[in-house]
Amino acid sequence: MDAVLAGLSMLTQIDVMIYLLLGIIAGLIVGAIPGLNDNIAFAVFIPFAFAMGAPSALAWMIGVYCSTSIGGAIPAIMVRVPGTASSLLTSLDGHTMARKGDAPLALSIAITSSVVGGLSSSVVLIFFAPVLALFALRFGPAENVALGLLGIAGVVSMATGSFWKGVLSAAIGLLIPTVGYHHGEARFTFGNFYLYDGVSLVPLLVGLFGVAAVLELIEEEARDRLNGQGSSIDRVRIGARFLSRAMVRRLWPTWARASLIGNIIGAVPGAGALLAIYLAYDQERRITAIKATDDDPDHVPFGAGAPEGVAAPEAANNAVVASSMVPLLSLGIPGNSVSALFIAALEIKGMTAGPLLFQRHLDFVWMILLSFLFANLVMGPIAYAALKWLIGIVYALPRRVLAAAIALLCLSGAYVIESTMFGIWTALLFGFLGYGFRRAGIPIAPIILAVILGGRIESSLFNALTLSKGSWTIFVDPVNHPISLVLVLASAAFLLSPLAGYWRRRRAA
Amino acid sequence: MDAGFAGTRFKVTVQMSAQSAKADLIVGGLSVASGIAIMLASRDYSQPARQFPMWLGATIVLCGAIIALSAWLRSRQAENPGGAPRPASSLWSGLRENGRLAVVLYALVMLGWSLVLSFGGGYLLPSIAAVVLLLIVAGERRPGRVILGAIGIAVFVFTMFYILFNARLPEADYIRELAASSRRLF
């Protein structure tokens, strides 16, 4: 209880509150600008975290993380251009509603659904993260290896595109933390003094997320220019309105189902918001089709402006947000690439995500948990109040100016970390690599996760094999290491699922 | 469906598939080469230090080989099905059409900015110059907007890091020398 109060008092400090609110506003703006997302916002921001107090830095990040998907729904509804990938399906029914003149209703449903989804996942986070962390304290080296493997297997199996490119991406990611001084010798340092401590995480993330995204933004801008399409969108002055009681009654079951799906998917490492929105949307489409009767005046089919078609993906994508922090805070395994950036922020502040965080910094943990709850409570009213202004400011910012500003912020931020040019070169190298990987269809998420887990996996693997005198059966020993066995089996299931799907499709064809 | 349209669509699909197969062949080949290089470099380390990178090198070789092999099989299927010669496009026009020329130029400006900073060119002036070039590459042609935008962005970033968050930014040699000599005066 003392820790809860300490966390609450940390959160209620005036500067922390201001950063949380600024984070929410920044998240709304970033989400609403097509081409920008929370990854880029964090890549730009993380270097600033050095100069800030830990609670303020974390509060800002939580604010951004929670509100980005609401922001993303605005252009999805108004101009059918999703601001973030997680608003992809919102554009289908949301924009159809807007074309019918129901834009205020669609925006209100998006905001309210996001708040409901976000609040549900905050509650899940508050109840499940401490329990899971308590359980994780029993983990030894074998379990840690198996857990790391599970995290990577989850991301690889869920990554879009080729399975082998996902494995390649994870292997490259695992290789990066091997650089530096380990096991009494310098590996892959090529005599470079700066590499003795390993590849610095922040410039790497700034490069993979920020610089690579800038290059993609420029490519898109140039292509649009050559095709004669302007990047500017006509300004619209429209606001949201409060939902009627009848609409709330109608959408409650949708919110409940979509939030449940989002919470479950969010807690699975690597599954991410896209899977959650697709499942929630599909589930609601089926249920609405079954329930529909010909004489029902309120029935609108999915794709033709169904309010449930906006409510389901919006509730699901926000339910993923806080629940993706459950494995991160309790096990040290990020639920997705955005939550992985929290690990970087925690490391900057000298904290390590995982069960030990609950032992050593319980007040911080509670501050984080309560911040998610508070952010979800206040982001709804802020989004309602700021909507008109937000739409105006968003469409006034040209993409080319944004790209230049992000490029300079990212590269300057990479310098600031260690005050050396090596940070800038690292960010540029990983930025070009990240852009190349995206062009080649190699997913980025497995690299990020593997970079973060790689050091822990290697040291735990070394310890586990030393304990077992080189016997690999330690990982599948049902008597002494049942948890490791379960985790290894779950990893195998994750890795084999895309191959099983491939063989099924081949047999069917 | 209109036969002509269907034929064109088929040709486009085949061409895209051939392009992606070519890209995958390059990815696969590079991966195999890098994996072998990693394994060779790891041989010199002691047993505990080399084990993990060795496995990763082998995994990279395996993935690269599978990607290259499947790309090769795909490229054989897609190889010039109608017998019609593929339109030749120069590297320059190819880059321009896809918007990748802008990406290459953008990357070069960022590299140039970093080099100037490395050689003690200071922060603010090279940043303003770099943002001017970045805005032009991105398609901004109005001189007023380019100059004001560049000054605004560079000064904003400088203020955020240097003044607001008290972080160090690269200093120009001539400014450092000027500051040192002016200190000597007093």
* pLDDT of amino acid B9: 45
Q: Specify whether the CB–CB gap between A394 and A235 falls below 8 A.
A: no
Cα nearest neighbour of B169 on chain A: A416
What is the nearest CA distance from B2 to chain A, expressed in angstroms?
A: 26
Q: What is the pLDDT of residues A363-406, one digit of tens each?
A: 888 999 999 999 999 998 998 888 877 777 666 778 788 889 88
Alpha helices in A12-102 (DSSP H): 14-32, 38-49, 54-79, 90-99
Provide, as residue numbers in chain B, all residues whose Cβ is less than 8 Å from the Cβ of A411: 110, 113-114
Mean pLDDT of A286-311: 78
Query: Quick check: helix, strand or coil at residue A408?
Result: helix
* pLDDT of amino acid B6: 46
* pLDDT of amino acid A117: 93
Q: What is the pLDDT of residues A93-110, one digit of tens each?
A: 888 888 888 888 898 999
* pLDDT of amino acid A331: 82
* pLDDT of amino acid B65: 96
| Chain B contacts in chain A segment 169-208 (CB below 8 A) | 171-172, 174-175, 178, 182-185, 187-188
Q: Which residue has the tokens 């007093």?
A: B186
Instruction: Label residue A88 by pLDDT band (50, 70, 90).
Output: confident
Whether the predicted interface score ipTM is above 0.85? no
Instruction: Label residue A183 by pLDDT band (50, 70, 90).
Output: confident
**Amino acid occupying residue A186:** A
* Tokens standing for residue B129: 């110059």
Residues lower than pLDDT 50 in chain B: 1-10, 12
Q: Which residue has the higher pLDDT, B15 or A228?
A: A228
**What's the longest Cα–Cα distance across chain A?**
77
Query: Can you tell me the distance from the alpha carbon of B89 to that of B86, in angstroms, rounded to the nearest whole number?
Result: 9
Query: Can you tell me the distance from the alpha carbon of A256 to that of B90, in angstroms, rounded to the nearest whole number?
Result: 56
Mean pLDDT of A207-235: 76
Q: What is the pLDDT of residues B73-89, one digit of tens each?
A: 888 776 655 555 555 55
Q: At what angle do helices A245-267 and A307-323 cross, to 10 degrees?
A: 40
Between the alpha carbon of residue A83 and those of residues A76, A80, A385, B24, B141, the distances in Å are 6, 9, 19, 30, 27
Would you call A44 exposed, middle or buried from its count of C-beta atoms within 10 A (0-12, 13-18, 19+)?
Answer: buried
What is the nearest CA distance from A109 to chain B, expressed in angstroms?
A: 36
Mean pLDDT of A461-467: 90
Burial A403-419 (b: 16+ CB within 10 A, else e): bbbbbbbbbbbbbbbbe
Of A302, A275, A350, nearest to A92 (Cα)? A302
Mutate to test the interface with B, among A181, A187, A224, A417 (most CBs of B within 10 A): A187
Query: Can you tell me the distance from the alpha carbon of A103 to that of A489, in angstroms, rounded to the nearest whole number?
Result: 48
Query: Can you tell me the distance from the alpha carbon of B109 to that of B116, in angstroms, rounded to the nearest whole number?
Result: 11
Closest by Cβ to A428, choosing from B52, B100, B110: B110
Contact state of A416 with B130 under an 8 Å Cβ cutoff: no
* pLDDT of amino acid B78: 67
Contact state of B46 with A185 under an 8 Å Cβ cutoff: yes
Query: Quick check: helix, strand or coil at residue A56?
Result: helix
How many CB pairs (< 8 A) connect A and B?
172
Q: Specify whether the CB–CB gap between A41 and A30 falls below 8 A.
A: yes
What is the nearest CA distance from A200 to chain B, expressed in angstroms?
A: 18
Mean pLDDT of A50-71: 86
Listed range (A151-165, A197-211, A352-366) with the worst mean pLDDT: A151-165
Chain B CB within 8 Å of residue A221 CB = yes
Q: What is the pTM of this model?
A: 0.77
Pairing of strands A180-182, A185-187: antiparallel
Contact state of A168 with B154 under an 8 Å Cβ cutoff: no
pLDDT at A169 over 90: yes
Query: Can you tell me the distance from the alpha carbon of A378 to that of A389, in angstroms, rounded to the nearest whole number?
Result: 17
Q: At what angle do helices B124-137 and B100-118 cross, to 10 degrees?
A: 170
Query: Can you tell me the distance from the alpha carbon of A288 to that of A87, in angstroms, rounded to the nearest whole number?
Result: 20
Listed range (A175-179, A253-257, A446-450) with the worst mean pLDDT: A446-450
* pLDDT of amino acid A258: 93
pLDDT at A268 over 80: no
| Chain B contacts in chain A segment 446-465 (CB below 8 A) | 458, 461-462
Provide, as residue numbers in chain A, all residues whose Cβ is less than 8 Å from the Cβ of B167: 47, 50-51, 416, 419
Query: Can you tell me the distance from the alpha carbon of A179 to that of A176, in angstroms, rounded to the nearest whole number?
Result: 6
Q: Specify whether the CB–CB gap between A47 and A416 falls below 8 A.
A: yes
